[in-house]
Amino acid sequence: MIKEIKEIHVSIKDQIESRLKEFGRIWKKGSDRDLFIELAFCIFTPQSGARVCWRAVSSLLEKNLLFNGSYEEIRNEINIVRFRNNKAGYLIEAREKFVKGAECLRSCLDNQPSVFEKREWIVKNVKGIGYKEASHYLRNVGFGKDIAILDRHILRNMNHLGLIKNIPASISPILYREIELKLEKFAGKINIPLSHLDFVLWYKETDDIFK
C-alpha cells in the first residue's frame, strides 16, 4: 500500500503543488469576500461531497444570494446539500458576523499566531464547523502545511495502514490532534509532505483532486 501511495504521489505531485499555490493566493491576494466564499463551502461540506458543495456555493454566487439572500432563498437554492436547513442557518449567522458585522475573517485569523490557534478560533466562532471543516478551510486559504483534513477517506486509509486501530464514530479535539500527529509522522517516514499526503489519500479513494 505504501508503494501505491508513493506512486500516486509521483503521478499527481505537480497537480497538488498547483492547487496549493492557488489556495495560497486566496490568502495573499484574495478579498474578505473570497475568504467568506471558502468558509461557506466548508460550512456545506459535512456529509456532502466537495463538488456538490462547490456547485451550491457557485449557484448562490450566480444568483447573488450568498451575500444577500434570505434564509429561505438560500435554503431552497442549496437543495443538493445534505442538512440544508441547518447549513443555511449557519451560513446566515456567519454572514451576519463576518460580512455585515464588525468582525473580519482576515483580521480575526491574523490575530491567531499559529495555524492550530487559527483552527481553534474557527471552531469556537463559526457554528456548524468542526475540526475537520476548520482544517479544510485553512488548507483552502493557504494554511495547510501542518494540518490534516481527517475525513472518512483519510481515516479509512489510516486504518488500512495500521496507523489507527479503528475508525472513530466521532472525534474529540484531543483525538483529532492525536490522529493528525500519527499521519504527520507517517508522512515524514515515507517522505511525502503532510499537505501532499492529504491529497494523495483522497485521490486514492476518489480519483479526484479538487478542494
Q: Which residues are catalytic?
A: 132, 151
Are the C-beta atoms of 74 and 40 separated by less than 8 Å?
A: no
Which grid coordinates belong to 199? 491529497
CB 150 within 8 A of CB 139: no
Cell of 45: 461540506
Query: Which residue type, as a one-letter code, is found at position 150?
Result: L
Among 160, 159, 177, which Cα is nearest to 168's? 159
Give the span between the Cα atoms of 53 and 13, in whole angstroms.
25
Question: Are 5 and 187 a contacting pair, CB within 8 Å?
Answer: no
**Nearest Cα residue to 135 out of 14, 2, 23, 6:** 23
Helix axes 173-189, 194-206, angle to 10 degrees: 90
Which amino acid is located at 161 in the chain? L
Cβ atoms within 10 Å of 180's Cβ, excluding its own: 21
Residue 178, C-alpha cell as written in the block: 492525536
